């Protein structure tokens, strides 16, 4: 004999039997339609490997909606084992739809917090766009450009009905997509301890976040503060908190706040930044966050951090990933005011600006092109906050300068040189006359960096590069004033040390190629002064430390060679004087020689410093450098720094973080 249960939760293959009515229908003595009927197809789906709990969730959700009144005994027994089960919408779907929902939850998706829907952009070159538009017109939105439709936004029906993933899911492109239970448990523990817990403790975290919001956000509104304060999940909020801490740690004002929960003393800024950077990158690669808008913001902060010789390459990769997510969401396509969100336009402007900065600082091609952007960028820029609007104006000028360095550029460098706008005109056109000094000085440094790049460098500087020399001196002057007065009139972002490194390259070229002794002496002093500025910035930026070390090494080698040349010249002069005195021993000495001996000695001693400075101007001391010094590498670094078509070249410098 075989016992067959009559409970509603039981599924039997052998026979069909009537379901027991719920308590309410039994008391009212009426037919019960509240229990869920499972046909043979449902039984087959329930036994699909990897989906053993689909039927349970269908029954559980059915009763939760008030359509059934089971006693819940099975729910009590199974719920602990399925605590991380996939939530399903509060609507009655077939088992096939529930299975689709379970499969869909493992896909990477952006949850629109306002619409409650999952959005994905499909270009018209993809056949899926045509099929989706025909078969699911209610679930798609057409993307409009200035000419015609260019693609489709797919809005999932189940998502729009209320399904949102509240539990942590792994993105499909994660390195641990769909892991085994043991691996998932290990990764969950690793993610919590090594990624999500890497934050400053409570007394310091609010201060770092406050510094970002008050000081840095007006200049570069990369983080969506409104969304951060309201409707994002815990992991996303932690990731964005780490991003704000990473950006704030670049500023000297926050040096005393750089604590982590596992440390009892402050960390050097670069070590603090590296810990935060690694934790954020690990969390992203593990798929802790699936919200693409959050990922764009986090990747934007990561691509601004550069540490180590491989830092520029890593930053460029992260920037490319950020741009890829923008294209995936279709933020670059005009959708109409009814579909656009407030932050989406700002996000597009931030990514566009970071793409140009990455191209300039790291010598990479631009990845976002105006011909592929359906939005009117000028209109997007005008609606931004004042400081960010001025920054975008300067970066727009940088975008024109980048065209000079493209392999087949048709731009005329002389036209850019003659029509280069004044910074005052940019401030007025951006309506930023009343902008505070801190934001204005920071953007001004970027303006002078673009001015240096607007004169495409050659092997030897010419009179056409007077703008470069002037801009380099202005960069040093603004930064020296900020450091000496300790007024903290600058907001430190990666383009600050980049601008100073451009100034260093200009001084090096002047010292390297000039044939006039006094110009070489002045360039040497400028080089030393710029190295001192970079050395101070080196506590926060790796590139600044590397450039300062190379500049100081060059000056030291130059002094060594010059000293040897002067020593040899002085030895030859003394030998020649001794020979002359020997030949004149038999000659009578005029009486006025003794009278003027003191004056002659004084005059010679006063000219000694002048001789030391300019007596080597008739030879090229760089040709006398030690062959093991690596002058070719130094030349390559300083020359490639001024050439936007060349990647940053720092292969032989490794700084010790513990010494900064």
- pLDDT, one tens digit per residue, over 96-150 is 333 333 333 333 333 344 433 446 666 666 666 666 666 666 555 555 443 455 6
Residue 169 lies in a domain: no
Residue 254 lies in a domain: yes
Domain range enclosing 56: 1-70
Residue 337 lies in a domain: no
What does the buried/exposed string (b/e) look like for 384-402 if buried means 16 or more CB atoms within 10 Å of the residue's CB? bebbbbbbbbbbbbbbebb
Residue 592 lies in a domain: no
User: Of 262, 286, 302, which residue is a domain's last?
Assistant: 302
pLDDT digit string, tens, across residues 197-240:
999 998 899 999 999 999 999 999 999 999 998 878 899 999 99
Same domain, 179 and 65: no
Q: Is 517 exposed, middle or buried (0-12, 13-18, 19+ CB in 10 A)?
A: middle
Question: In whole angstroms, what is the distance from residue 228 CA to residue 213 CA?
Answer: 11
User: Of 70, 99, 115, which residue is a domain's last?
Assistant: 70
Which neighbouring-strand residues pair with 538? none
Same domain, 62 and 180: no
pTM for the full predicted model = 0.69
Question: In whole angstroms, what is the distance from residue 383 CA to residue 231 CA?
Answer: 24
Residue 12 lies in a domain: yes
Q: How confident is the model at residue 59 (pLDDT cuts 50, 70, 90)?
A: very low
Residue 201 lies in a domain: yes
Residue 371 lies in a domain: no
- What sign has the CA pseudo-torsion 222, 227, 228, 234? negative
Token pair of 345, please?
């336009």
What is the rounded (10 degree) CA torsion for 376, 382, 387, 392?
30
Split into its structural domains, the chain has a count of 2
pLDDT digit string, tens, across residues 62-105:
334 443 434 443 333 333 333 343 343 333 333 333 333 333 33
Q: At what angle do helices 292-302 and 342-362 cross, to 10 degrees?
A: 30
More confident residue, 630 or 101: 630
Residue 543 lies in a domain: no
Least confident of 239-248, 447-456, 604-613: 604-613
Q: Are the beta carbons of 23 and 69 closer than 8 angstroms? A: yes
pLDDT of residue 404: 86
User: Of 277, 302, 327, which residue is a domain's last?
Assistant: 302
């Amino acid at each position: 004999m075989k016992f067959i249960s009559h409970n509603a939760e039981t599924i039997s293959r052998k026979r069909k039997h009537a379901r027991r009515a719920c308590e309410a229908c039994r008391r009212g003595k009426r037919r019960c339609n509240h229990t869920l009927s499972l046909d043979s197809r449902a039984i087959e789906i329930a036994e699909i490997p990897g989906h053993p709990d689909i039927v349970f969730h269908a029954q559980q959700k059915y009763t939760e909606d008030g359509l059934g009144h089971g006693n819940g005994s099975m729910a009590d027994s199974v719920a602990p084992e399925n605590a991380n089960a996939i939530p399903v919408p509060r609507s009655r779907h077939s088992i096939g739809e529930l299975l689709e929902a379970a499969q869909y939850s493992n896909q990477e998706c952006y949850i629109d917090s306002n619409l409650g829907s999952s959005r994905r952009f499909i270009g018209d070159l993809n056949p899926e766009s045509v099929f989706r538009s025909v078969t699911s017109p209610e679930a798609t939105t057409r993307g409009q450009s200035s000419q015609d439709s260019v693609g489709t936004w797919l809005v999932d029906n189940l998502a729009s009905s209320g399904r949102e993933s509240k539990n942590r899911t792994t993105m499909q492109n994660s390195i641990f997509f769909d892991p085994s239970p043991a691996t998932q448990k290990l990764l969950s523990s690793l993610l919590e301890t090594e990624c999500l817990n890497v934050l400053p403790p409570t007394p310091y975290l609010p201060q770092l976040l406050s510094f970002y919001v008050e000081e840095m956000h007006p200049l570069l509104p990369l983080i969506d503060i409104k969304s951060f304060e309201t409707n994002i999940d815990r992991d996303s909020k932690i990731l964005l908190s780490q991003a704000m801490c990473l950006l704030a740690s670049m500023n000297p004002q926050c040096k005393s706040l750089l604590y982590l929960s596992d440390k009892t003393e402050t960390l050097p800024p670069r070590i603090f930044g590296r810990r935060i950077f690694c934790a954020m990158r690990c969390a992203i690669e593990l798929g802790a966050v699936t919200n693409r808008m959050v990922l764009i913001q986090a990747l934007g902060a990561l691509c601004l951090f550069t540490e180590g010789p491989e830092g520029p390459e890593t930053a460029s990769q992260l920037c490319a990933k950020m741009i890829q997510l923008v294209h995936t969401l279709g933020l670059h396509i005009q959708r109409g005011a009814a579909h656009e969100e407030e932050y989406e336009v700002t996000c597009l402007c931030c990514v566009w600006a970071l793409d140009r900065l990455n191209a300039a600082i790291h010598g990479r091609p631009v990845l976002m092109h105006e011909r592929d952007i359906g939005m009117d960028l000028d209109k997007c820029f005008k609606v931004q906050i004042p400081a960010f609007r001025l920054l975008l104006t300067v970066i727009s000028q940088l975008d024109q300068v980048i065209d000079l360095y493209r392999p087949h550029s048709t731009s005329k460098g002389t036209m850019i040189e003659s029509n280069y706008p004044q910074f005052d005109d940019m401030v007025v056109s951006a309506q930023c006359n009343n902008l505070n000094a801190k934001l204005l000085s920071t953007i001004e440094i970027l303006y002078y960096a673009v001015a240096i790049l607007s004169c495409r460098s050659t092997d030897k500087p010419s009179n056409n590069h007077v703008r470069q020399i002037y801009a380099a001196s202005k960069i040093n002057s603004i930064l020296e004033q900020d450091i000496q007065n300790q007024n903290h009139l600058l907001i430190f972002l990666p383009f600050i040390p980049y601008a100073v490194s451009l100034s260093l390259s200009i001084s090096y070229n002047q010292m390297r190629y000039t044939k006039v002794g006094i110009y070489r002496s002045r360039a040497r002093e400028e080089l030393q002064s710029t190295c001192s500025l970079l050395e101070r910035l080196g506590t926060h930026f790796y590139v600044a430390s590397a450039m300062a070390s190379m500049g100081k090494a060059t000056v030291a080698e130059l002094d060594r060679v010059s000293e040897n040349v002067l020593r040899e010249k002085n030895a030859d002069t003394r030998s020649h004087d001794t020979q002359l005195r020997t030949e004149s021993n038999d000659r009578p000495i005029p009486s006025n020689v003794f009278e003027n001996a003191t004056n002659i000695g004084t005059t010679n001693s006063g000219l000694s410093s002048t001789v030391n400075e300019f007596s080597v101007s008739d030879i090229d001391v760089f040709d006398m450098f030690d062959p093991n010094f690596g002058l070719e590498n130094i030349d390559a670094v300083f020359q490639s720094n001024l050439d936007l078509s060349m990647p940053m070249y720092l292969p032989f410098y490794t700084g010790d973080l513990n010494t900064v």
